[in-house]
């Protein structure tokens, strides 16, 4: 086994050292100790999302008993700040001796499968030295996440170039900000805006949240009664974590199912919850009554009512309208509202990265991934020895990551047992002509998914050519799923 930075061939190359890549490494270390592997990450440290996002108030909106791993107990309050999540990931790296496998500042730019040689060539650039690198690998385990870390999504609005203040995207938060006495406009209405605003409101002149349309919010305290009870009974961390994790998955799945099956009741319940947090007469219909159903996007979580408190105190005002134009001193909306701004924060979301923005080729011929069909939301038709760790969208991302890493790991064990070197998802005669659909969960359509829909891989209309979006069903079935239904073609 070779792990040296000098090595140029690995059994497995993992792309990305975020939650998914660290988990893939844990899987290989635990169940495939004989395999050599490297994790390549374009960033200068681990954590992905939890490294790049440093804006005030950045935190999880699912709890850490499930966003964390099943094999590493979470010991804090259920919802955690970005820095604490990063620290937790560092502890996992240390506990499982992952660090020696990671190479930072290595952006993978190309993957080329060599059919005769039965291996991938991995090409890229060292972002520090600007030198090109090239490795080879038997298997690619891509853990690139789903959006670009380098830059968030900022729409262009008329007059933006005339604005004389500062424009900041939360994904590229500057180190030293001082908003004292400044008028800050936060554009956007999702989880980012709702966590950022309470964190800065006390240190600004005034904050205006400017949203094109309202979003749903769910509010809860940042505590878990079961965890508190178990801890006060002296139960150890491993057992507390396991019990609370299972309960949290059940609760989250229950809530997700309830929302899907009872759209109107959930909608009204959430709006009612918000109304009860805001002063009498607040225009909830305008600012907190979304036009979509709560099942269509992740519902943002407010902890201990902090977002509503800063609105109620008058430190934060809401404007719900589209931007007509920027001016040198702020923004004018379509209905003519003039908002003065020294600073504009564009909490306008992500740019989706399609398979890590990596140019993929087979025998030097470019692959259009939009023509490929997913195999179980893990692999893709006609692409050999390549798997993607894509997590859960409605539960914590990590819940699905662990289920599919077990599947990938079993597949590698199966291949070793058979003495096969190549696995390629391949459409059978009965799969030809099936209906082709967008990748992922058809009911889940936030802006960043819609913007990149045409460049993503596709789904078919039956198993295994689609991703199972039902976590419980997948968790039950995937561990028992074999590799012999003819959709995976193995070669020596």
Ligand X SMILES: Cc1cc2nc3c(=O)[nH]c(=O)nc-3n(C[C@H](O)[C@H](O)[C@H](O)COP(=O)(O)OP(=O)(O)OC[C@H]3O[C@@H](n4cnc5c(N)ncnc54)[C@H](O)[C@@H]3O)c2cc1C
Which residues contact ligand X by CB under 6 A?
Answer: 15-21, 40-43, 48-49, 53, 58, 60-62, 67, 107-108, 143-145, 149, 356-358, 391, 396-397
Q: How far is the CB of 267 from ligand X (least distance, A)?
A: 22
Cα–Cα–Cα angle for 308, 311, 312, nearest 5°? 85
Separation between Cα atoms, residue 227 and residue 206, nearest integer Å: 38
Residues 361, 368: contact at Cβ < 8 Å? no
Distance of alpha carbon 485 from its chain centroid, rounded?
31
Q: What does DSSP assign to residue 59?
A: B
Q: How far is the CB of 15 from ligand X (least distance, A)?
A: 5
What is the residue-wise DSSP string for 18-44?
SHHHHHHHHHHHHH-TT--EEEE-SSS
Q: How far is the CB of 116 from ligand X (least distance, A)?
A: 26
Nearer to ligand X, 79 or 465 (CB): 79
Backbone angles phi, psi at 185, to 5 degrees: -110, 125
As a whole number of Å, the CA-based R_g of the chain is 24
Q: How far is the CB of 394 from ligand X (least distance, A)?
A: 9
Q: How far is the CB of 66 from ligand X (least distance, A)?
A: 8
Nearer to ligand X, 42 or 466 (CB): 42
Q: How far is the CB of 78 from ligand X (least distance, A)?
A: 10
Q: How far is the CB of 351 from ligand X (least distance, A)?
A: 12
> What are the CA-CA distances from residue 343 to residues 76, 166, 213, 315 (Å)?
34, 5, 21, 16
Nearer to ligand X, 165 or 170 (CB): 170
Q: How far is the CB of 486 from ligand X (least distance, A)?
A: 30
Nearer to ligand X, 19 or 488 (CB): 19
Nearer to ligand X, 191 or 411 (CB): 191
Separation between Cα atoms, residue 44 and residue 438, nearest integer Å: 33
Residues 18, 28: contact at Cβ < 8 Å? no
Separation between Cα atoms, residue 461 and residue 434, nearest integer Å: 6
Between the CA atoms of 103, 150, 306 and 155, what dihedral angle is there, to the nearest 10 degrees? -160
Question: Token pair of 391, please?
Answer: 């997590």
Q: How far is the CB of 388 from ligand X (least distance, A)?
A: 9
Residues 138, 385: contact at Cβ < 8 Å? yes
What 3-state DSSP class applies to 190? coil
Nearer to ligand X, 36 or 49 (CB): 49
Nearer to ligand X, 123 or 382 (CB): 123
Q: How far is the CB of 22 from ligand X (least distance, A)?
A: 7
Nearer to ligand X, 56 or 382 (CB): 56
The kind and range of the H/E element at 332 are: strand 330-333
Question: Token pair of 307, please?
Answer: 């977002």
Nearest to 271 by CA among 255, 286, 284, 256: 284
Nearer to ligand X, 61 or 474 (CB): 61
Nearer to ligand X, 47 or 165 (CB): 47
Q: How far is the CB of 124 from ligand X (least distance, A)?
A: 6
Q: How far is the CB of 392 from ligand X (least distance, A)?
A: 7
Separation between Cα atoms, residue 15 and residue 98, nearest integer Å: 14
What 3-state DSSP class applies to 49? helix
The kind and range of the H/E element at 245 are: helix 237-261
Nearer to ligand X, 49 or 208 (CB): 49
- What are the residues whose beta carbons fall under 8 Å from the beta carbon of 351, sequence distance 6 or more? 147, 148, 151, 152, 153, 448, 451, 452
Which residue in the block uniquely carries the two structure tokens 């960033």?
Answer: 43
Nearer to ligand X, 61 or 224 (CB): 61
């Amino acid at each position: 086994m070779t792990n040296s930075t000098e090595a140029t061939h690995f059994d497995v190359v993992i792309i990305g050292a975020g939650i998914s890549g660290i988990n893939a490494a844990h899987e290989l270390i635990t169940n495939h100790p004989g395999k050599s592997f490297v994790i390549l990450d374009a960033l200068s440290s681990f954590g992905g999302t939890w490294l790049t996002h440093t804006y005030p108030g950045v935190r999880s909106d699912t709890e850490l008993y499930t966003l964390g791993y099943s094999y590493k107990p979470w010991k804090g309050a259920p919802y955690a700040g970005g820095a604490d999540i990063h620290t937790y990931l560092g502890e996992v790296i240390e506990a499982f001796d992952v660090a020696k496998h990671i190479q930072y500042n290595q952006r993978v730019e190309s993957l080329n499968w060599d059919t005769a040689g039965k291996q991938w060539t991995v090409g890229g650039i060292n972002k520090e030295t600007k030198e090109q690198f090239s490795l080879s690998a038997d298997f690619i385990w891509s853990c690139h996440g789903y959006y670009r870390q380098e830059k968030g999504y900022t729409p262009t609005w008329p007059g933006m170039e005339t604005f004389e203040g500062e424009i900041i995207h939360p994904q590229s938060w500057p180190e030293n900000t001082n908003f004292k006495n400044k008028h800050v406009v936060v554009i956007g209405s999702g989880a980012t805006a709702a966590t950022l605003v309470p964190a800065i409101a006390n240190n600004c002149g005034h904050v205006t949240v400017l949203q094109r349309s309202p979003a749903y919010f769910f509010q809860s305290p940042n505590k878990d009664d079961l965890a508190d009870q178990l801890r006060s009974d002296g139960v150890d961390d491993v057992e507390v974590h396991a019990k609370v994790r299972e309960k949290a998955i059940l609760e989250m799945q229950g809530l997700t199912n309830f929302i899907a099956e009872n759209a109107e009741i959930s909608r009204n319940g959430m709006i009612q919850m918000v109304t009860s947090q805001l002063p009498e007469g607040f225009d909830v219909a305008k600012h907190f009554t979304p036009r979509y159903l709560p099942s269509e996007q992740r519902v943002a979580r407010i902890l201990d009512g902090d977002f509503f408190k800063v609105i109620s105190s008058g430190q934060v005002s809401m404007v719900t309208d589209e931007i007509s134009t920027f001016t040198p001193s702020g923004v004018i909306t379509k209905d003519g509202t003039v908002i003065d701004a020294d600073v504009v924060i564009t909490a306008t979301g992500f740019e989706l990265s399609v398979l890590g923005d990596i140019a993929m080729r087979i025998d030097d011929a470019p692959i259009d991934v939009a023509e490929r069909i997913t195999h179980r939301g893990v692999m893709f038709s006609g692409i050999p020895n390549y798997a993607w760790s894509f997590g859960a969208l409605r539960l914590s991302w990590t819940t699905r990551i662990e289920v599919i890493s077990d599947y990938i790991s079993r597949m590698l064990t199966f291949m070793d047992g058979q003495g096969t070197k190549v696995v390629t998802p391949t459409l059978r005669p009965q799969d030809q002509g099936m209906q082709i659909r967008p990748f992922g969960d058809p009911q889940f359509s936030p802006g960043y998914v819609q913007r990149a829909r045409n460049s993503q891989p596709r789904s078919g209309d039956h198993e295994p050519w689609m991703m199972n979006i039902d976590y419980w069903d997948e968790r039950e079935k995937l561990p028992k799923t074999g590799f012999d239904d003819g959709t995976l073609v193995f070669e020596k």
